[in-house]
Structure 1
Amino acid sequence: MDAAEADHPPRRRRSRLVTAVFLLLVLAVAGWSAPVLLGFDTANRGTIALVATLQYAVPAGAALTVLGLALRRWLSTLLVGLLTAVLAVLVLPRAIPDSPTPAQGSPLRVLSVNLFFGRADAAQVVRLVREGEVDVLSLQELTPEAVTALDRAGLERLLPHRVLRSGPGAEGTGIASRLPLRELALARPSALAQPSALIDLPGRRDVEFVAVHPLYPMGPGTAEVWARELDELPRPNGEGGPPRVLAGDFNATLDHSPLRALLGTGYEDAAEVTGGGLVPTWGTGWFPRVTIDHVLTSGGLVAQAYSVHDVPGSDHRAILAHLVVPD
């Protein structure tokens, strides 16, 4: 037996090893996609966390498809290619702005900030309010100390009308407004405060506003509470009712079925409408950055612009939406 023949068994072993590793990677992408595609994304906190990172499965699947073509592993490449195509159809439209909708009416600029147990830089929050000419501010994880720091930095002068439900740790949430408001009770009782108000706009139409913060699905038993609180968020008003804005930290991406179901009732996501739906708003430590803060609108409100801003001291980024309330 010559040297070339003797080398065949090691080559075959290497080929089988490459095939096995590649197939494992393909199965990993399939497992990544399964909770959304098969409808068990809310099964537990593990599947909820996995689904939060689904947007990253698209480039991972695309890279595997190219690798599979180079390795000539046709069947497994076909599988991962089809999966990637399905995920791309689900995810990528969020980065494509909708056709502009002409709208005349009252402007409404909405800012949402998670203060990370009240530790966020109060001066930066107030700076965003001032420079963004914000009309209504949704504050999550609002502590009494954070209220004091924000007002010391000038928030009360800019947004004097408010419904604040401050509390220890992550419990507190608040609404601060440049415009007069009247407190409502639109959200059901929840683990974390979710206050609501009717914003008195200069035009003919007022707007209902809910500061959203369902329980984060991170501890034992929290997944069920998270799903229930998302499901219990108020639906849009019927024809003739006031428009509504839900703004805050939803602890959910647009891939989670409870949030998709909420959007299916008639809300629009301002980030998705304006092409910013894949811009991450939260990320800390080893976990990938994900998009869990949202401004949802209903009742004909038009999202004209959307942006994301860093806030020192917080694990979230602030989100700013420029809306128009048609007359």
Structure 2
Amino acid sequence: MKITAGRPRVGTAICWLAVAPGAGWALARLGGLDRGPLVQLLAFTPYAVLGSLVPLLLALALRRRWPAVVAAVTTATLIAVVAPRTLPSAQPAATGPTVRLLTANLLAGAADPATVVESVRTERVDVLVVQEFTPSVEAELDRLGLDRLLPYRQLNPVIGTPGSGLYSRHPISAGGIRTLRGGWGFTQAYATVAVPGAPEVRVESAHPSAPYALDQTGYWRDDLTAQPPATPHGPLSILAGDFNATLDHGPLRALLRTGYVDAAAAVGAGLTGTWGPYDGSLIPPVTIDHVLVDRRIAVRDLDVRALPGSDHRMLLAELRLPASPRADGGR
């Protein structure tokens, strides 16, 4: 009798032990508790959705009511925060010109420059922003013809990973280089791009520090907090690049709340991985590269593309800007 009576308690304990990690994960995600080791962990929240089904099925199979209830709430919560990235959202009625923007992390100059230039040429890219941009890759890009395709530029090539660059088909002004406070000293090139038929739009190549170790998470948070906010009642703004953060990180969501829209999520492609490594490693891809656009800009499409030699993938966004007042016939 004691053994028989003990079995239900053992089964219940096993269910609670299985349910607890997922429930804690959901609470951390909802509470914005991305501190310490949770910074890296929360990047994998989309995978936690699938993992949360295991304790739910276990509790149902063992007929443990309350563990099943908690497991069901956990799964529903995780689905609620992740699923919207797979659903296209309504776009503003922008009637101005179309701009095609490409962002690429060049892995300290190791990425294949021919792939970048060919993408610019065949996809009729108007604006290119690059991170981890080096003097050697700058020279190679121009040798391959980028200077003729995108003649306007604001560049800061640096040996290693801090470099940044912005190239444009259209004239630029008010350009500069932002130096972040993070441990890597990443820089961010920016400029105002004059697209015919649209208001001027400020574009910046984003590259906050990576939270690769516990002692770097403070720099990571500082760099994300230092990113330029959107100006929904002022000039148009686009912030694109390697953010080293996913939409499950609180600082990036806070940046979005200033008036940006994540372009990938806007077209239902918000779960496509942009950082591997894609070399057989067991680390699953996560979405840390983004194109953030002013909420007045319509996102027509976003494509994630391979970039040989880099551990990141490129993002190609097709955007439609609002029309300038004169183009709309206004005063």
Please report the TM-score for the alignment, with normalisation by the length of structure 2.
0.89
| CA 1:152–1:68: 2 relative to 1, 3 Å | farther
Instruction: Report the AA paired with residue 229 of structure 1.
Output: D
Counterpart of 1:316 in structure 2 is 312
1:272-291 deviations in Å (ceiling 9; x for gaps): 11111111111223322111
* Shift in Å, 1:16: 5.9
Structure 2, unmatched stretches of 5+, are: 324-331
Please point out which of 237, 242, 248 is paired with 2:235: 242
Does residue 133 (structure 1) correspond to residue 124 (structure 2)? The answer is yes
Distance (Å, rounded) in 2 between the aligned partners of 1:64 and 1:299 = 39
Please point out which of 310, 322, 331 is paired with 1:326: 322
Does residue 198 (structure 1) correspond to residue 188 (structure 2)? The answer is no
Please point out which of 92, 95, 101 is paired with 2:83: 92
RMSD: 2.1
Conserved in 2, the CA contact under 8 Å of 1:187 and 1:210? no
Structure 1, unmatched stretches of 5+, are: none
| CA 1:75–1:296: 2 relative to 1, 3 Å | same
Conserved in 1, the CA contact under 8 Å of 2:231 and 2:259? no
| CA 1:248–1:195: 2 relative to 1, 3 Å | same
| CA 1:90–1:204: 2 relative to 1, 3 Å | closer
Counterpart of 1:51 in structure 2 is 42
Does residue 146 (structure 1) correspond to residue 140 (structure 2)? The answer is no
Please report the TM-score for the alignment, with normalisation by the length of structure 1.
0.90
Counterpart of 2:222 in structure 1 is 228
Counterpart of 1:82 in structure 2 is 73
Distance (Å, rounded) in 2 between the aligned partners of 1:309 and 1:88 = 26
* Shift in Å, 1:20: 4.3
| CA 1:157–1:14: 2 relative to 1, 3 Å | farther
* Shift in Å, 1:21: 4.2
Conserved in 2, the CA contact under 8 Å of 1:242 and 1:299? no
1:107-139 deviations in Å (ceiling 9; x for gaps): 111111111121111111112212221111110
Counterpart of 1:212 in structure 2 is 206
Distance (Å, rounded) in 2 between the aligned partners of 1:288 and 1:12 = 43
Distance (Å, rounded) in 1 between the aligned partners of 2:31 and 2:296 = 33
Please point out which of 10, 24, 28 is paired with 2:17: 24
Bigger Cα displacement from structure 2, 84-93 vs 299-308: 299-308
Conserved in 1, the CA contact under 8 Å of 2:261 and 2:294? yes
Conserved in 2, the CA contact under 8 Å of 1:114 and 1:248? yes
Instruction: Report the AA paired with residue 318 of structure 1.
Output: M
- Secondary structure of 2:17 counterpart: helix
Does residue 286 (structure 1) correspond to residue 279 (structure 2)? The answer is no
Counterpart of 1:163 in structure 2 is 154
1:167-217 deviations in Å (ceiling 9; x for gaps): 122111111111111243485644201111011111141110010001111
* Shift in Å, 1:69: 1.3
1:8-55 deviations in Å (ceiling 9; x for gaps): 94x8777766554443331221233332223321x22x1110110011
Distance (Å, rounded) in 2 between the aligned partners of 1:113 and 1:12 = 61
| CA 1:301–1:101: 2 relative to 1, 3 Å | closer
Does residue 121 (structure 1) correspond to residue 117 (structure 2)? The answer is no
* Shift in Å, 1:219: 3.3
Distance (Å, rounded) in 2 between the aligned partners of 1:194 and 1:216 = 14
| Percent identity between the two aligned chains | 41
Distance (Å, rounded) in 1 between the aligned partners of 2:40 and 2:218 = 14
The number of aligned residues is 317
Does residue 271 (structure 1) correspond to residue 267 (structure 2)? The answer is no
